[in-house]
Structure 1
Amino acid sequence: MATSAPDPAQAPEPDPDQAHAPAPAQAPDGGATIRTDVPARLDRLPWSRWHWMIVIGLGTVWILDGLEVTIVGNIAGRLSEPGSGLAISSSQITGLAAALYVTGACVGALFFGWLTDRYGRKKLFMVTLVVYLSATAMTALSFAPWWFFLFRFLTGFGIGGEYAAINSAIDELIPSRFRGRVDLTINGSYWLGAIGGALLSIVALNTNIFAQDVGWRLTFALGVVLGLVILLVRRHVPESPRWQFIHGYADEANTLVGDVEQRIEAEKGRELPPVDREIAIHQRASIGFGLIARTVFVRYPKRAVLGLSLFIGQAFLYNAITFGFGAILITFYHVDSGHTGYYFAVIAAGNLVGAVLLGPLFDILGRRIMITSTYLLSGVLLFLTAWLFDRGSLNATTLTACWCVVLFFASAGASSAYLTVSEIFPMETRAMAIAFFYAIGTAAGGITGPLVFSDLTSSGKVGDTVLAFSIGAALMCAGGLVAGFLAVDAAQKSLEDIAEPLSSAEPAKTASPTGSSGRRPSPGRA
């Protein structure tokens, strides 16, 4: 494919966050240098059945995560009752078990995130789902607290790996003009699982239908069944072509994208337009932890602060509300433990609708305005809820309504944290960056949160619960303020323009008008 001299109009915009950073690593691992137009070809694809397959195969695991967390929160009261089959207290479930689940997720994210960047997205999003399914099945067979705690940790271990492997794969396969809304909707689908988990717990905890020591086990078993269905669909999801051409599989990347182009042309009944951009890449086998750390903290320090702020804020807000949810309703409003699922289904619906309706605006209005506004609005509204709760102005229904409004905005904001860290760092570090920020932010809010908030919300003291709400609200507002100054304008931009690959050999070039269509690069190129 012939190429012309670099066109300044097509080159990536300068990034002030890396203005004084060292140049990208040159010729690592002795790999070959290739030219590829694969990113441009992926970004110019129209939405198709192939993209729906990606969304269903990868995104639906968030439904399982929502199902898991919600079920545990709603069955906490039942598990602590005599005859449940486990000698465990409600505070142990919402505190220790929840903290172990999140700890497992943090460890799993880091472990599988490193493997994902090294060995590819497809291998790892298959492995992590198998780990999750196995641990969930074992949780259903719990006969002692230690067994329950162990497999809650391992379930989280698999889920954490999913976050790293799947977010990186989705962003690398979805065209840039759809990336924001797709990412937010997929992450928001967690709440579809939460709705299912809440309603399922109502049936499972009905002792007129299932024995007291059987119903809660069946809820976990259903998660395994749904996971197996997802596993079957996921077999058809391909490896990321972006990962392939960097790691020495240029021919495979070109073949994969060419096949997708042919399928989409047949579906749409028209030929795809040619592309006019390509990048030069030094292929490399792996990226070391040292280079990843230097990239994140030395080359992109402002983006690192942004990622940490967003993750910590959303983790604390959600823990302030969700981990003490059942305890608040039961303690302050005397809601029966078997009926808390109805209330949770309502706030889960608010989360789901918020992510779906607000998601497109992240592509239309841009990341900065949407991240800032969703974080600040949810934080301010939670402060208002805390004030009303402190005055005694709320009942179970109106408190749930307040939470629903708060989480309408918070859901989009929280999902944008995953979108942000998955698109603002170079391709070679993407999965590890997701894992790192997820682990640090979630460890701060997701491990500390359950341990602190379970005590505050179950103490029976109004002031303690108000404090829990206020902590989450303050940190969410802080995240919004940081985003107002540091958010990256990434909407509808190619990933390679947002953060130049570490393996880049030179700036992006435009193809010659007399070159090929961009569908069949010449030998030696991807």
Structure 2
Amino acid sequence: MPTAQPSGNATITSRIPARLDRLPWSRWHWTIVIGLGTVWILDGLEVTVVGNIAGRLSEPGSGLPITSGQITGLAAALYVAGACVGALFWGRLTDRFGRKKLFMITLVVYLAATALTAVSFSTWWFFAFRFLTGFGIGGEYAAINSAIDELIPAKYRGRVDLAINGSFWVGAVFGSLLSIVALNEAILPKNVGWRLTFALGAVLALVILLVRRHVPESPRWLLIHGREQEAERIVSSIERKVESETGERLGEPESEITIHQRKSIGFLEIARTVFSTYRKRSILGFSLFIGQAFLYNAITFGFGAILTQFFHVPTGNTGYYFAVVAVGNFCGPLLLGKLFDTVGRRVMISSTYLLSGLLLFGTAWLFDRGSLTATTMTACWCAVLFFASAGASSAYLTVSEVFPMETRAMSIAFFYALGTAAGGISGPLLFADLTGTGKVGDTVLAFQIGAGLMCAAGLVAAFLAVRAERRSLEDIAKPLTAAASAVSERARSAKEGRSAKEGRDRSRTATA
């Protein structure tokens, strides 16, 4: 029974987190993945489409008095700025007012801004709604990653997070192919095709919004914020659905947690927790986001220029090459994701970062020797980004699971904004100039910078990555509201039993 506290809040003991973590995979979990995870496809679509249609938008008769440089420069910077501001703004509100309210609101913001971009009649209108589109997308990252981690069982959390974050590249493939159609004047007039691409993004967002209505609020968030009865109803409903779908009766949860409920957590307490209590984890998050941001910018900012300048690929055909690279990006998290839950976070995070960095060093060496063609260069990029994409996705996974429940959305928002700003501000200033000179040595230097920072992040992960695989979020980072005796004796016994079994297994292996 809840015990009244002087503050007016209550102290309760609950098994809700353990009940969620012991669920087998079911159709209900697929509903969560589709309702929440597909937004990354929209982000990939947005970024790719704008880059690919820049040439058409700048032509006379497009309906907008805008230059190609304004689209890839100012408009892109405004989208990035909007994403950074949106992540921080909506992230704080997500921790305070709940996951569901915010992932509905941010998607509506994105939908409206994209639809209004499609009817742009002047440059200021286009720029304003590019900013607001990014503003909505930035908020999505904080709200969605928080909700997914808190609803997906611990056993599957790594692979699901990686696949969802990697789905950005599904949108990139779709955007590349869509831009080829949009740029074909035999199919669509030049003042219509680009508008339809943005309109399609709004239509996809509307479909996702309809599915998302059925996704519940995070029971973990409800529990901490004094709404345990609502959390109990949601978890009981989920359990009934899972039992009905699987035809199996669920086992008893292994642990319970005692919570001092609070309506809100102060910003200073959140900052102190992230940057003081969990200082090493913050260094890890910073390293992972900066490393992946610079590696990706080392390649993507010069992608088209390298193909056209050094391999004489026609500008209109670069979209095909990008689509191939995007497929490689998606395959990495999809195929390697399970290993993050089985082999473990530390080994997989460090190895994907180090492998992608070393492969990019190798690509730079081959490029410098003149040993590559457009096809083999694309193959090299695919190999690099196969591992880099898994690593980059694991950066989002890391910052969403290694900090306490009350700081989760804000932590995701902070590191996302940091990485996005590094990519969207430092990237253009550094890599666009290097890869745009037409000099082999400058492009090699760009590759080496990205590869070096990726390898450095991999080394940091080798020492600081948290062994979070198959562990409850509350075990990885105890909630700020948790009582000292948060874990029950039964949970301790179960944990000791697992440790003893693992010790016996290791002994047998050593003997063998």
Change (3 A) 1:28 1:304: farther
Shift of 1:398: 1.8
Aligned residue in 2 for 1:20: none
- Counterpart CA distance in 2 for 1:168 and 1:340 is 36
Deviation of residue 148 (structure 1)?
A: 2.3
How many percent identity over aligned positions? 75
Q: CA deviation at 1:478?
A: 1.1
Partner Cα separation in structure 2 for residue 466 and residue 213 of structure 1: 39
Cα offset for 1:319? Answer: 1.8
How far off is 1:343 after superposition? 0.7
The match for 1:417 is 395
Q: 1:508: Cα distance to partner?
A: 3.0
CA contact (8 A) 1:306 1:483 kept: yes
Partner residue of 2:245 out of 240, 262, 267: 267
CA shift digits 1:115-152 (9 cap, x unpaired): 00000000000011011111111222233333322222
Cα offset for 1:512? Answer: 7.0
Q: What CA distance in whole angstroms lies between the structure 1 residues aligned with 2:18 and 2:370? A: 57
The correspondence of residues 140-219 of structure 1 with structure 2, limited to 5 A, is: 140-219=118-197
Q: Is 2:479 the partner of 1:476?
A: no
Aligned partners of 1:268 and 1:463: how far apart in 2?
Answer: 59
- Superposed counterparts of 1:112-127, under 5 Å: 112-127=90-105
Bigger RCO (CA 8 Å, 6+ sep): 1
- Which residue matches 1:109? 87
Residues 174 and 384 (structure 1), Cα distance of their counterparts in 2 relative to 1, 3 Å cut: same
Residues 50-72 of structure 1: per-residue CA shift (max 9 Å, x gap):
10000000000011111111111
Moved more, 263-272 or 157-166: 263-272
Q: Does 1:394 align with 2:394?
A: no
Structure 2 counterpart of 1:508:
486
User: Which structure shows the bigger proportion of residues in helix conformation?
Assistant: 2
Aligned to 1:373: 351
Which of 422, 429, 443 is the matching residue for 1:465? 443
String of CA shifts for 1:416-450, please: whole Å, max 9, x gaps.
00000000000000000000111122212332213
**SS of residue paired to 1:176:** coil
Task: Give the match's secondary structure for 1:505.
Answer: coil
Task: Show the counterpart of 1:493.
Answer: 471
Conserved? CA contact 1:310–1:414, under 8 Å? yes
- Cα RMSD (Å): 1.8
Given the alignment of the two structures, is residue 440 of structure 1 paired with residue 418 of structure 2, yes or no? yes
Does residue 222 of structure 1 match 2:175?
no
Letter of the 1:272 partner, please give it. L
Query: Aligned pair in 2 of structure 1 residues 350, 29: CA closer, same or farther (>3 Å)?
Result: farther
Give the drift of 1:239: 0.3
How big is the shift at 1:321? 1.6
Paired with 2:71 and 2:311, the residues of 1 have a C-alpha distance of 21
Task: Decide whether the 8 Å contact of 2:329 with 2:382 is kept in 1.
Answer: yes
**3-state SS in 2 of match to 1:508:** coil
1:342 corresponds in structure 2 to 320
Partner residue of 2:53?
75
1:352–1:411 CA contact under 8 A, matched in 2: yes
TM value normalised by structure 1: 0.90
How far does residue 30 in structure 1 lie from its aligned partner after superposition? 4.1
AA matched with 1:407 = L
Residues 1:208 and 1:372: Cα distance change in structure 2 (over 3 Å) = same
Deviation at 1:184, TM superposition (A): 0.2
How many Å separate the matches in 2 of 1:147 and 1:379?
A: 40
1:286-337 residue CA offsets vs partner (Å, 9 max, x unmatched): 1111001100111010000000000111111112222332233233333333
Q: Separation in 2 of the partners of 1:394 and 1:135? A: 42
Letter of the 2:221 counterpart: W
d(CA) in 2 for partners of 1:81, 1:396: 28
Determine if contact 1:121/1:169 at 8 Å carries over to the other structure: yes
Match of 2:272 in 1: 294
Instruction: Give the counterpart of 2:340 among 362, 366, 369.
Output: 362
Distance 1:352 1:242, change over 3 A: same
Equivalent position SS for 1:209: coil
Contact 1:74 1:340 in 2 (8 A): no
- Where does the alignment leave 5 or more consecutive residues of structure 1 unmatched? 3-26, 514-526
Q: Name 2:78's counterpart in structure 1.
A: 100
**Where does 1:127-142 land on structure 2 (aligned, <5 Å)?**
127-142=105-120
Q: After alignment, is 453-462 or 313-322 more displaced?
A: 453-462
Answer yes or no: is the 8 Å Cα contact 2:102–2:143 preserved in 1: yes
Whole-angstrom distance in 1 between the partners of 2:316 and 2:277: 52
Aligned partners of 1:347 and 1:317: how far apart in 2?
A: 14
| Inter-partner Cα distance in structure 1 for 2:487 and 2:320 | 56
Deviations 1:18-53 (A, max 9, x none): xxxxxxxxx795421111100000000010111000
Q: Secondary structure at the match of 1:507?
A: coil
Matching residue within 257, 261, 268 for 1:283: 261
In 2, distance between residues paired with 1:474 and 1:480? 10
In structure 1, how many angstroms separate the alpha carbons of the residues matched to 2:335 and 2:254?
Answer: 34
- Cα contact 1:279–1:506 (8 A) shared by 2: no
Distance 1:29 1:52 in 2: 40
The residue type paired with residue 60 of structure 1 is T
Name which of 214, 237, 251 aligns with 2:215: 237
C-alpha distance in structure 2 between counterparts of 1:140 and 1:327, whole Å: 28
Deviates more, 1:109-118 or 1:142-151: 142-151
Tell me, yes or no, if the aligned pair for 2:114 and 2:202 is still in contact at 8 Å: yes
- Shift of residue 477 of structure 1? 1.0
Q: Is 1:46 matched with 2:24?
A: yes
Opposite residue 101 of structure 1, the aligned amino acid is Y
Other-structure match for 2:497: none
Cα gap change, 1:134 to 1:334, in 2 (>3 Å): farther
The Cα of 1:174 is off from its aligned counterpart by: 0.2
Paired residues, number: 489
What's the offset of the Cα at 1:224? 0.9
Cα distance change on mapping 1:334 and 1:390 into 2, 3 Å: same
TM-score, normalization by structure 2 = 0.92
Residues 142/116 of structure 1: CA separation in 2 closer, same or farther (3 Å cut): same
How many angstroms apart in 2 are the aligned matches of 1:467 and 1:147?
Answer: 38
SS at match of 2:25: coil
After superposing the two structures, state which structure 1 stretch, 473-482 or 357-366, moved more.
473-482
